[in-house]
Amino acid sequence: MIIEVSDPADPRLADYVGLRDSQLRRREDRFIAEGLKIIERSFAAGCRPRSLLLQPRWLDGVLPLLDGQGDVPIYVGTEQMIEEVSGFHVHRGALGAFERPVETSWEDLLAMRRLIVCEETVDHANLGAIIRVGAALGWDGLIVSPGSADPLYRRAIKASMGASLEFPWRRMASDADLERLSAAGFTVVASTISPGAVTLDGYEAPERVALLLGTEGDGLSSGWLEAADVHVTIPMTNRVDSLNVATAAAILAHALRDS
């Protein structure tokens, strides 16, 4: 159902209002896909569409995706109108609102072999990049702390190139959920620059690994470091004191990947 819209205050566009607002970043019932490629991947992942908001030039590419999806509203407007509604420059003028998929169960996650666990990783682009790394290097799933960014926020989805729509993940209820990992037989490996940590090139990964990554800036908290079985560090020159968390994730995930 194609519907032309011109009023940014149209109540039918409520899903798309204020997408830069930090209070709206973690929506319990839906997520926003930005750009035609991410919209395509949302459909491919089996996500249920609520509506689409597009410039007219994207209609030919979107209509085939809606076969068998029922009567999904397709709101069509100008680039300026779409940006007024969303509050930001929309990449190529295409947005989709989708029902939010259910998080992966603890039972399924704890049956896996390689998990990435993020403590207070608050930058959505970093988290999306970590998910993309995990998916590319054969890791099985992701666990995020209560205060971490939302893997299904539009910027995280975009940075993951849509991988967060299919990569198994869930959010911890509290830091106490860390205990589940050791109880399930994972070796908990903490990434740190602390003195005394084992260098990555001298560490042989065990059969099941839960890799802990910390917040931007401060890294892992003392409580999370204490919960780890092993502390590992990436050998570096003294020209920098640390690596971006997504860069560190790529190096660690490659070195500790399941053989």
pLDDT by residue, tens only, the chain of 259 residues: 899 999 999 999 999 987 665 444 455 689 999 999 999 999 999 999 999 999 999 999 999 999 888 899 999 999 899 988 988 777 678 999 999 999 999 999 999 999 999 999 999 999 999 999 999 999 999 999 999 999 999 889 999 999 999 999 999 999 999 999 999 999 999 999 988 899 999 899 999 999 999 998 889 999 999 999 999 999 999 898 889 999 999 999 999 998 7
Alpha-carbon distance 171 to 71, whole Å? 33
What is the CB neighbour count within 10 angstroms for residue 130?
A: 34
* Cβ contacts of 5 within 8 Å, gap of 6 or more: 12, 13, 53, 75, 76, 77, 81
**Positive or negative, the Cα torsion across 91, 120, 217, 138?**
negative
Task: Retrieve residue 30's tokens.
Answer: 């839906």
Task: Retrieve residue 178's tokens.
Answer: 């860390």
Half-sphere exposure of 117 (CA within 13 A, CB side): 31
* Cβ contacts of 12 within 8 Å, gap of 6 or more: 3, 5, 51, 73, 75
Alpha-carbon distance 39 to 45, whole Å? 10
Alpha-carbon distance 104 to 49, whole Å? 20
CA neighbor of 41 nearest in space, from 123, 116, 98, 79 = 98
